[in-house]
């Protein structure tokens, strides 16, 4: 409470400075911001004031806790029938560096990761031209049989539409069958920017923003939860970002099915979109902060360390974020687009980063529910940060030898 009052004092200083006074009064009064308010926040040069407001909003909702997840990414294939201009991940069947995993290979990766203590598998891939619908339900069932406690977070909205086409079923029926096979949550990937004109420039042929939202709507209607994203820092305007956030907030008002929002900083390498100035540190922090203030019906905002680096994720924890994502293990999509972050972070590194940012580390599950709170007096916490987590060391040793899967 003392920390909250101290931050409120910083906001009182913002109130006195004038430029954001009326918006600050709304934030303090817990009132909903308008689209015009969000545009002004994107335009302000007073990043410290914006950060203070976002931090106040976050602390009011989450206190000083900041979370991470022990998870593993698996990309089952990078073959894709689409050719999104921004994507450096997808390949055609003729490409020498394309790959696809069979169910046994996916299960082997999952079994290895379970031995290292993961609680979530995050599985996505390209829109494969020939794999049948039974392939997807088959590996879901195999993974659920491996350990029923393992949470399976799989598929983007466009993948779901592709699977519905393969199965010759409606989207609700396809989602229900995937759920029955073991799907626990949809991923939020593929949102990009909803505005049609921008979407056609960066992802021609992909599903529309309305289709993305409707897949999540249908999933929420059958009791499912999901995350959502926004890809920023390419050819979109601030108004495009605000419109995107507005549509997410409206769907959350309708369904309450989103567990968290993940703003994704555009990676400029190995694609056909000419972007002279990719997202700067200020733009990243500004976008996190505006997201926290505008998305008042979202509990959690994730600073995705894979795309912005662990140090920037630490700073984002004082600009409205309350989560820095997970251990990852093996990530191809951002790294093939030029991300120079590590392929993984050991759990102790995430705990240390959160504590260095002045927050209380919390291991969470897929739905942002706490598994463990790391108190600084806990002997296990002290040992963890000192490098005593054998699982993290095993992850590092395993992934250091890992290469991109072959066909």
More confident residue, 287 or 383: 287
Q: 83: domain range?
A: 66-400
3-class secondary-structure state, position 79? strand
Report the 10 Å Cβ neighbour count for 394: 15
Domain boundary among 15, 35, 60: 60
Residue 67, classed as helix, strand or coil, is: strand
Say whether pLDDT at 279 is over 60: yes
Burial of 23 per CB tally in 10 Å (0-12, 13-18, 19+) = buried
State the pLDDT at residue 394. Answer: 37
Q: How confident is the model at residue 122 (pLDDT cuts 50, 70, 90)?
A: very high
Residues 258 and 135 in one domain: yes
Residues 92 and 133 in one domain: yes
- Asked if 88 and 37 sit in the same domain, the reply is no
Angle between helices 35-43 and 21-28 (to 10 degrees): 120
Give the angle 343-346-349 at the CA atoms, nearest 5°: 110
**Interstrand relation of 360-364 and 370-373 (parallel, antiparallel or unpaired):** antiparallel
Is the Cβ–Cβ distance between 202 and 82 less than 8 Å? Answer: no
Whole-angstrom distance, CA of residue 97 vs CA of residue 329: 20
DSSP, residue by residue, 77-132: B-B-S---TT-SS-B-TT-TT--B--HHHHHHHHHHHHTTT--EEEEE----SS--
> Do residues 269 and 345 both lie within one domain?
yes
Tally of residues, the chain:
407
Give the lowest-confidence range in 59-63, 273-277, 381-385.
Answer: 381-385
Residues 216 and 105 in one domain: yes
Q: Examine residue 405 and state whether it is found in any structural domain, yes or no.
A: no
Q: What pLDDT is stored for residue 405 in this prediction? A: 30
User: Of the ranges 172-186, 228-242, 276-290, 319-333, which one carries the lowest mean pLDDT score?
Assistant: 319-333
**pLDDT (mean) for 316-332:** 85
Q: Which H or E element spans position 323?
A: strand 323-326
Q: What is the tens place of the pLDDT at every residue in 136-190?
A: 999 999 999 999 889 999 999 999 999 999 999 999 999 999 999 999 999 999 9
Claim to verify: residue 113 and residue 247 sit in the same structural domain: yes
Alpha carbon distance 244, 290 (integer Å)? 12
- 17 and 144 share a domain? no
> What gap in Å lies between CA 34 and CA 299, rounded to an integer?
19
User: pLDDT tens-digit profile of 89-119?
Assistant: 556 666 667 778 999 999 999 999 998 889 9
Q: Are 28 and 54 in contact (CB under 8 A)?
A: no
Tally of domains in the chain: 2
128 and 21 inside one domain? no
| pLDDT score, position 401 | 31
Judge whether 256 lies within some domain. yes
Same domain, 319 and 373: yes
Percent of the chain scoring above 90 in pLDDT: 67
- pTM of the complete model: 0.86
Both 33 and 143 in a single domain?
Answer: no
Q: Do 140 and 228 belong together in one domain? A: yes
Residues 148, 37: one domain? no
Q: What is the pLDDT of residue 399?
A: 37
The CATH number linked to 313 is 3.20.20.70
């Amino acid at each position: 409470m003392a920390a909250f009052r101290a931050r409120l004092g910083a906001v009182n200083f913002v109130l006195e400075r004038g430029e954001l006074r009326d918006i600050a009064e709304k934030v303090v009064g817990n009132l909903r911001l308008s689209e015009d308010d969000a545009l002004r926040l994107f335009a302000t040069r007073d990043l410290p004031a914006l950060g203070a407001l976002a931090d106040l909003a976050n602390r009011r909702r989450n206190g000083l806790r900041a979370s991470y997840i022990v998870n593993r990414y698996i990309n089952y294939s990078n073959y894709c029938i689409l050719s999104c201009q921004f994507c450096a991940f997808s390949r055609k069947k003729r490409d020498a560096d394309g790959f696809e995993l069979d169910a046994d290979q996916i299960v082997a990766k999952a079994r290895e990761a379970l031995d290292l203590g993961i609680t979530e598998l995050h599985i996505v891939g390209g829109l494969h031209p020939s794999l049948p619908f039974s392939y997807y339900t088959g590996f879901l069932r195999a993974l659920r049989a491996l350990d029923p406690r393992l949470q399976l977070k799989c598929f983007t909205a466009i993948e779901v539409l592709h699977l519905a086409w393969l199965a010759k079923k409606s989207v609700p029926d396809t989602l229900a069958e995937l759920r029955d096979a073991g799907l626990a949550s949809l991923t939020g990937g593929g949102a990009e920017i909803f505005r049609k004109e921008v979407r056609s420039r960066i992802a021609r042929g992909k599903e529309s923003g309305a289709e993305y939202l409707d897949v999540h709507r249908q999933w929420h209607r059958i009791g499912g939860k999901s995350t959502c994203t926004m890809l920023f820092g390419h050819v979109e305007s601030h108004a495009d970002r605000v419109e995107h956030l507005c549509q997410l907030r409206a769907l959350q008002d309708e369904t309450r099915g989103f567990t968290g929002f993940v703003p994704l900083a555009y990676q400029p390498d190995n694609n056909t979109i000419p972007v002279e100035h990719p997202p700067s540190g200020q733009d990243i922090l500004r976008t996190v902060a505006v997201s926290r203030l505008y998305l008042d019906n979202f509990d959690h905002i994730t600073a995705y360390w894979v795309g912005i680096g662990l140090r920037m994720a630490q700073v984002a924890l004082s600009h409205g974020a309350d989560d820095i994502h997970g251990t990852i293990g093996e990530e191809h999509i951002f790294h093939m687009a030029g991300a120079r972050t590590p392929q993984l972070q050991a759990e102790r590194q995430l705990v240390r980063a959160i504590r260095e940012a002045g927050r209380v580390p919390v291991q969470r599950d897929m739905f942002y529910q706490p598994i463990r709170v790391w108190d600084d007096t806990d002997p296990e916490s002290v040992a963890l940060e000192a490098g005593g987590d054998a699982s993290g060391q095993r992850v590092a040793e395993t992934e250091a030898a890992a290469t991109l899967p072959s066909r």
